Amino acid sequence: MPELPEVEVTRRSIAARLQGARITDVRCGKPLRWPLGIAPDRLVGSRLGEVARRGKYLWLPLQRELAQAPTGIDGGLLLHLGMSGSLAFHDAAAEPGPHAHFDLGTTQGLLRLTDPRRFGAVLWSDAIDAAPAATLLARLGAEPFDPALTPQVLHAACRQRKVAIKTLLLGGQVVVGAGNIYACEALFRAGIDPRTRCDRISLLRCTRLLAALRDTLGRALELGGSTLRDFSDAHGVAGAFQAEALVYGRVGQPCLRCGATVRRIVQAQRSTFFCPACQRRG
């Protein structure tokens, strides 16, 4: 599923083109996870501001242009790509396929949300700090590159929990963005067994883990994210991070660092890949 790097890559691929564009048409297809929450035609005439990201959500701010058009509305759209969603620009005349569930027609082109599994969402909110946007975003942990997220903060959060560190990373309540592939890779780089209980991880190891997570996510952003199945940015460019994975997807193969056999276990209903020699619980 699209994780933080893929969502940020998507944001970068649509932001410049959408900023300042005026909405000309809105089409809703089959229902997504939640209803839009506003009549689609009320969005027509609004101008799009700077696209932002929080966790795996995208925020498209809208502003009404009273002087030029009496239509439109202030507020914004909160988007989530779900398990299989993607955004891409299309020709305005392009017919929607069976999995095209939301079209945003603008003066800069048609932006289409395609989501085969329909776990994604497009939600109207009066503001990013108003419900429903604020309610959904309030559940998220710190952004991984936020300077306020220090090793001490991470360590304090770990001390209060008794779950496995991999489970904590996937949960997103402490830090967002560590999806399955990136959690596996970061834990490998930090030398931490994914089964290690959070409250048993020292400050030194939290320092290494935070640095490894930032390095992993930063490299993923450089490479356009990961394309395990069909992810691509809004211009159709696939990600390449998966080609550099050191443990993810390499079960039964030799560890690239020590030569031991990479193992696979299941945690929180997700596959975990790790090297039992390089990654220790102690």
Q: Which residues are marked as active site?
A: 2-3, 56, 270
**Encoded tokens for 18:** 């959408």
Q: Which residue has the tokens 């997700």?
A: 270
HSE (side-chain half, CA atoms, 13 Å) at 239: 32
Please tell me the distance from the alpha carbon of residue 223 to that of residue 244, in angstroms, as a whole number: 10
HSE (side-chain half, CA atoms, 13 Å) at 48: 28
Q: Tell me the one-letter amino acid at 194.
A: P
**Encoded tokens for 68:** 């030029």
List Cβ neighbours of 189 (8 Å cut-off, separation of 6 or more).
Answer: 212, 215, 216, 246
Backbone angles phi, psi at 190, to 5 degrees: -85, -10
Q: If we measure between CA atoms, which residue out of 102, 113, 120, 196 comes closest to residue 158?
A: 196
Please tell me the distance from the alpha carbon of residue 163 to that of residue 220, in angstroms, as a whole number: 26
Backbone angles phi, psi at 239, to 5 degrees: -85, 165
What DSSP letter does each residue of 42-105 carry, written as one string? GGTTPEE---EEETTEEEEEEE--TTT-S---SEEEEEE-TTT-EEEEE-TTPPP-TTEEEEEE
